[in-house]
Structure 1
Amino acid sequence: MTRNMKVNGGGVYDVVVVGAGPAGLSAALMLGRARRSVLVVDEGLPRNAPAEHMYGFLSRDGMAPGDLLLQGRREVEKYGNTVRAGRVTGVRREGEVFAVDLDGGPAVRARRVLATAGVVDELPEVPGLASRWGRDVVHCPYCHGWEIRDQPIGVLATGPLGVQQALLFRQWTERLTLLLHTAPRPTAEEAEQLAARRITVVDGEVSGLETLDGRLSGARLASGELVVLRAVAVAPHPVARADYLTGLVLEAVAHPSGLGTHVAGDATGRTSVPGVWVAGSLADPHANVLGSAASGSLAAGAINGDLIAEDTRRAVRDHRDPFSPASEARVCEKVLGVRRHGL
């Protein structure tokens, strides 16, 4: 196969990647290096856009998320492939390929599709919370814990996992408060664990978060009491961005953790629909940036292997019958760059 600097004959990409986050760009990079023609379509709604920095990514610790994506786009394009702004509205099968519908433009065709559009984090409906998201309202201690260490932190519990989250954040501060909000009362065993770890438990719903001089100052309870805090940990409900896959009868389902939804795939991201893979937070809503990038790379290897198997089957068929109509059509596409009418 010749070096892919543009789409294959007949205007068919080897792979269309939906989403230019860490997973999508990592996959496109690997596929480009495998000499595959790739189009990445991105809506411009990265999950971590509210965060000023990302952490825990080896050699990129503290880097701005947008800078990572910009560098990733440049690396993908270095191998002759394209990252395009736009929104994918649907994917459907047309014979041996997929038609990928784009908002405001003609559909593009691909032999394989990799879905990496991610999730949308639905936050608890507490006034003042959403505006602080990614700053002093956080969800992952491994992403943000170091930056808020030793400060008074509140865990806003909205479900049965609130105690678990509080015990986790206790690693980063001794000044921890579990705000029960809408969560059930801790069991006797959980209450003992919280007491042993000297975690304060506060009853009552939180009516809002308050700020002072541009910083979080505390959580106001419905009773009027103000709990002084400098950061609040929440458990968002991640909802998969997968509406464009419904035409393939591929839908988001509940994640095994019980938190949020995802599109299920195997260890490489292969879904139940042949030719369609999933990676990043769309496959695992708990994946961090590094994990998402790794899953994209893993999916790329599997996709390339699948394409190699298909290329080999076609080559064997043409070798056996070089004068078949199908073989002639492929030769016209590859050599002449045209598709013969009716073939």
Structure 2
Amino acid sequence: MKATEQVDQFYEVAIIGGGAAGLSAALTLARARRDVVVVDAGTPRNAPAAAAHGLIGLEGINPLELLQRARREASSYGAHIVNANVTGASKTGDGRFAVRLDDGSTIQAGQLLLATGVVDELPEIPGLDQQWGRGVVHCPYCHGWEIRDQRIGMLATGPMAVMKTLLFRQWSPQVLFLSNGIEFSAAELAKLTDAGITIVPGEVSRLAITDDRLTGVMLDDGTMVELDALAVSTWATARLDGLDELGVDTTENAAGISVVADATGHTSVPGVWAAGNVVNSGMQVSEAAANGGRVAMMINTEMIFGPIDPASMAHSSEKSA
């Protein structure tokens, strides 16, 4: 459905972002008989990957096929899908939200859910972009099985590199730590050595790629380090293009920048919710989908009963347990 067909239409809930979290929320809300719209630009974070993993019942499904299925399922219950970019969003005088789209049209909504995900910022090393999602991976739980027992290099980009290297060691005895010119403590390096991980000094200048396949990395001194896969921790920044006017709080941590939301999905702005990777870039597809569904339930519940204190909900859960 084109955005031009939705000019100035009012929805009870507008969801910005049509990934696992956004579409799961749309499915839940549509099944709750809410009038809901999903605005999606069609650029999911995991598009470069050939398969999504750890998703029970759909293990190994292509990420784009998964989203196509999810769109059909949400639409079958009446959710509206709009293919567009958001250029602006703001709260109106009557307490509603106005979401402006890149074709000049506007969607109005009573509640707004941000499920925009994150943008992975890679180090500026030639070849990384080209191999991202294939020879270059970032999550051991997403890609570890596929590169098991292979020569895996961990490209250090920050303080989390040692921990992630030790994680990848679970999947292969052939793990190399590429320090990439970053200083690490003797205690951290000892942990790597004790785990049988080879420490490679020097900075990585580029990736070695043959026939569109990663074969290793080249160091700044000209040394070639042969590899079958390269792991890297990205800087994940919440996608908030066009959403600055909303003024939701964000926070910065070792993994990147995310939207601040409580356990129920509330952001710092009343009526604006958040779910999925935009809140926690470490969520896998299954987690993001579950989080989107849970936040959608809270949105519907509050639309019926009014604002609910997350602390009182947690206390009630403890008592019932």
Q: Tell me if both proteins adopt one fold, taking TM over 0.5 as the criterion.
A: yes
Question: Do residues 304 (structure 1) and 300 (structure 2) align?
Answer: yes
Any idea what SS the aligned residue of 2:14 has?
A: strand
Question: Do residues 269 (structure 1) and 268 (structure 2) align?
Answer: no
In the other structure, the counterpart of 1:107 is 106
For residues 39 and 105 of structure 1, the distance between their equivalents in structure 2, rounded to whole angstroms, comes to 17
For residues 118 and 81 of structure 2, the distance between their equivalents in structure 1, rounded to whole angstroms, comes to 20
Task: For 1:19, give the aligned amino acid.
Answer: G
Task: For 2:194, give the aligned amino acid.
Answer: A
For residues 59 and 77 of structure 2, the distance between their equivalents in structure 1, rounded to whole angstroms, comes to 26
Q: Is the CA contact 2:26–2:296 (under 8 Å) kept in the aligned structure 1? A: yes
In the other structure, the counterpart of 2:225 is 227
Among 89, 92, 95, which residue is 1:91 paired with?
89
For residues 163 and 188 of structure 1, the distance between their equivalents in structure 2, rounded to whole angstroms, comes to 12
For residues 148 and 79 of structure 1, the distance between their equivalents in structure 2, rounded to whole angstroms, comes to 39
TM-align CA RMSD = 1.5
Q: Is the CA contact 2:86–2:241 (under 8 Å) kept in the aligned structure 1? A: no
Question: Do residues 242 (structure 1) and 225 (structure 2) align?
Answer: no
Q: Is the CA contact 1:243–1:251 (under 8 Å) kept in the aligned structure 2? A: no
Structure 1 residues 149-185: Cα deviation after superposition (integer angstroms, max 9, x where no partner): 0000000002122111111110011111000003213
Q: Is the CA contact 2:118–2:236 (under 8 Å) kept in the aligned structure 1? A: yes
Task: For 1:217, give the aligned amino acid.
Answer: T
Shift of 1:244: 2.7
Of 188-197 and 136-145, the range deviating more from structure 2: 188-197
The within-5 A match list for 1:133-282 is: 133-185=132-184, 187-255=185-253, 258-282=254-278
Shift of 1:88: 1.2
Q: Is the CA contact 1:116–1:278 (under 8 Å) kept in the aligned structure 2? A: yes
Shift of 1:251: 4.4
For residues 47 and 17 of structure 2, the distance between their equivalents in structure 1, rounded to whole angstroms, comes to 14
Any idea what SS the aligned residue of 1:73 has?
A: helix
Shift of 1:242: 1.2
Any idea what SS the aligned residue of 1:105 has?
A: coil
Any idea what SS the aligned residue of 1:131 has?
A: helix
Q: Is the CA contact 1:268–1:295 (under 8 Å) kept in the aligned structure 2? A: no
Q: Is the CA contact 1:242–1:252 (under 8 Å) kept in the aligned structure 2? A: no
Structure 1 residues 85-140: Cα deviation after superposition (integer angstroms, max 9, x where no partner): 00112211111311111111321111100011111100011111110000010000
Task: For 1:55, give the aligned amino acid.
Answer: H
Task: For 2:12, give the aligned amino acid.
Answer: D
Q: Is the CA contact 2:122–2:234 (under 8 Å) kept in the aligned structure 1? A: yes
Among 35, 38, 41, which residue is 2:36 paired with?
38
Shift of 1:310: 5.0
In the other structure, the counterpart of 2:283 is 287
Shift of 1:253: 2.6
In the other structure, the counterpart of 1:61 is 59
Shift of 1:252: 3.2
For residues 49 and 125 of structure 1, the distance between their equivalents in structure 2, rounded to whole angstroms, comes to 20
Any idea what SS the aligned residue of 2:51 has?
A: coil
Q: Is the CA contact 1:158–1:182 (under 8 Å) kept in the aligned structure 2? A: no
Q: Is the CA contact 1:211–1:218 (under 8 Å) kept in the aligned structure 2? A: yes
For residues 244 and 265 of structure 1, the distance between their equivalents in structure 2, rounded to whole angstroms, comes to 19
Shift of 1:309: 2.4
For residues 191 and 288 of structure 1, the distance between their equivalents in structure 2, rounded to whole angstroms, comes to 29
For residues 266 and 86 of structure 2, the distance between their equivalents in structure 1, rounded to whole angstroms, comes to 20
For residues 97 and 132 of structure 2, the distance between their equivalents in structure 1, rounded to whole angstroms, comes to 37
Paired positions, count = 300
Q: Is the CA contact 1:73–1:83 (under 8 Å) kept in the aligned structure 2? A: yes
Any idea what SS the aligned residue of 2:237 has?
A: strand
Larger radius of gyration: 1
Of 275-284 and 157-166, the range deviating more from structure 2: 157-166
For residues 97 and 209 of structure 2, the distance between their equivalents in structure 1, rounded to whole angstroms, comes to 50
Q: Is the CA contact 2:217–2:224 (under 8 Å) kept in the aligned structure 1? A: yes
Q: Is the CA contact 2:55–2:285 (under 8 Å) kept in the aligned structure 1? A: yes
Q: State percent identity of aligned pairs.
A: 47
Structure 1 residues 214-264: Cα deviation after superposition (integer angstroms, max 9, x where no partner): 321111001111011000000000111113332122243314xx2110111
**Structure 2 spans left out of the alignment, 5+ residues:** 1-5, 308-321
Structure 1 residues 44-100: Cα deviation after superposition (integer angstroms, max 9, x where no partner): 110000001011110111000001100000011101121110011221111131111
For residues 99 and 212 of structure 1, the distance between their equivalents in structure 2, rounded to whole angstroms, comes to 49
